[in-house]
Amino acid sequence: MGLMCLRVVRFLIVSGFLCLLQVSWKHFPAPDPSCLSAPFSQAPSTSDQSSSSQKFPPNEANPVAHVLISLVIILLSAKVGGDLFERIKQPAVLGELVFGVVMGNLALVGFHGLEYLKSDEIISMLAEIGVILLLFEVGLESNIKEMMEVGISSFLVALLGVVAPMILGWAVGAFFLPQANTLVHVFIGATLSATSVGITARVLKDLGKTSEKESRIILGAAVIDDVMGLVILAAVTGIIKAANEGSASISSWDIGVIIFKAVAFLVIAIWAGSRLSPLMFGIASKLKIRGMLLATSISFCFLLSYLANRIELAPIVGAFAAGLILDPVHYEDFTDRGDHSIEELVQPISSFLVPIFFVLMGARVNLGNFAKIDILGFAAALTLAAILGKQVCSFGIVEKGLDRLSVGVGMIPRGEVGLIFASIGASLMLKGSPVVSSSTYSAVIIVVIVTTLITPPALKMTLTRAEVTKRSRVLTSNSQE
């Protein structure tokens, strides 16, 4: 008890120190661009202050220092939040998200010092790299042969998990927005189609369940789901642009090209990568410099992520493919001379960058939207459609003895994918108005928040229940024998 009190006191001291530091550091930037230059304008513009011997003026914040203190706040919050939630038997990712929500809404109690985190470009970039490394790790822990064993199930789960939410979202949009164009309803349905594989991957990793067959189906389906979602997004966006320009349709050839690019990338990346990676690591092993294995594997991950982005796929698809391709046999020359495995080498980097992604996702939640009754009704219906739609995908499992509910729950979170869809819709114009209005955007954000927050505890509960059920079946079978 005394140890727990000591830890609580330490946490309060650290939190108080960070708040005091945030308030007292006057040149910490605010989110409004017009306010960014205000602290700097107070500095005297004398010639001696702008001399070449000093890189930054005395009263101007060093940009590197700004990033450093931001990382201190984010990482401490992530680790404290993760620790507290693990103590109550919940995944650490939920603690990171919740603490991010708290940090991002301190303005509601009069503290605006952390508002800049929501739009900081450097922090956002680090978060994106973090989720790329997360999917790379998940790919490393997966096996192509094992993925092929559940390939049919993953494809059917992904297909049903895209079609059902889209139809339900379309219906909800038509009911709540009867005055809007039909294409608006279609786009709203499209925002519910894709799953955020990053959220589910992190939860499964925290629970140590990535090797379970249900987990492999979820992860395989989530990647296929992401590709299908992007195909739908590209097709619907093309139709809307054509309609806005006076054309009624988009050619089937254009849609076929989009589908071909997505499928071809995954097939070619896995086929060619599995053959070229042994040669790549063989050449790299000739260089005796320290850290060569880590540099080669991360470069390979980033290269495939870049190539995926170049053909308008999500970079995480390339990262996951890179992880799938790399096999311990490919780099055994490194391990034979005493190097750690790629998983062990990447883990310290991902434990630094991945929490930034989840804290930032939480920080971008605007709790003020929950106070608007008109948005809440629409958001509640969309959320229900998003959840029920993904439960339909569980009927795509062809194997017997697997927990369908866990697969359905694992496909629920929308996360960064839903945010991307909503932001694109807000920028699309149809007959002079944005396809996704500000109220619809807020409703979609609430869907993203709710589906992201409920997945970790729900998935943990269903996987635990499934494990207990499997054990009881084994005991019953043994007792009958």
Structure tokens at 97: 């998200």
DSSP letter string, 337-363: TTPPPHHHHHHHHHHHHHHHHHHHHHH
pLDDT bin (cut points 50, 70, 90) of residue 419 is: low
Rounded CA-CA distance 147/349 in Å is: 26
| pLDDT tens-digit readout, 323-335 | 888 877 777 778 7
The region of weakest confidence among 22-26, 28-32, 41-45, 163-167 is 41-45
Number of residues that make up the chain:
481
| pLDDT tens-digit readout, 358-396 | 888 778 777 777 777 877 889 899 999 999 999 998 888
Rounded CA-CA distance 117/134 in Å is: 21
Rounded CA-CA distance 421/407 in Å is: 23
pLDDT bin (cut points 50, 70, 90) of residue 21 is: very low
CATH numbers and ranges of domains, the chain: 130-353+373-469 (1.20.1530.20)
Among residues 207, 228, 210, 208, the alpha carbon closest in space to that of 219 is found at: 210
Q: Are 31 and 118 in contact (CB under 8 A)?
A: yes
Q: Are 169 and 189 in contact (CB under 8 A)?
A: yes
| Residue 465 parent element (H or E) | helix 438-480
Rounded CA-CA distance 85/271 in Å is: 41
| Mean pLDDT of the chain, nearest integer | 77
pLDDT for 398: 82
DSSP 290: T
Rounded CA-CA distance 383/448 in Å is: 8
Structure tokens at 481: 């024998």
Rounded CA-CA distance 145/148 in Å is: 5
Rounded CA-CA distance 464/460 in Å is: 6
Among residues 238, 198, 184, the alpha carbon closest in space to that of 444 is found at: 184
| Residue 82 parent element (H or E) | helix 63-87
pLDDT for 128: 86
pTM for the full predicted model:
0.68
- Cα radius of gyration (the chain): 24
| pLDDT tens-digit readout, 245-282 | 765 555 677 667 666 777 788 788 888 888 888 888 88
| pLDDT tens-digit readout, 114-150 | 888 888 889 889 988 988 888 888 778 766 666 566 6
Query: What is the separation of C-alpha 11 from the centre of its chain, rounded to a whole number of angstroms?
Result: 28
pLDDT beyond 70 at 228 = yes
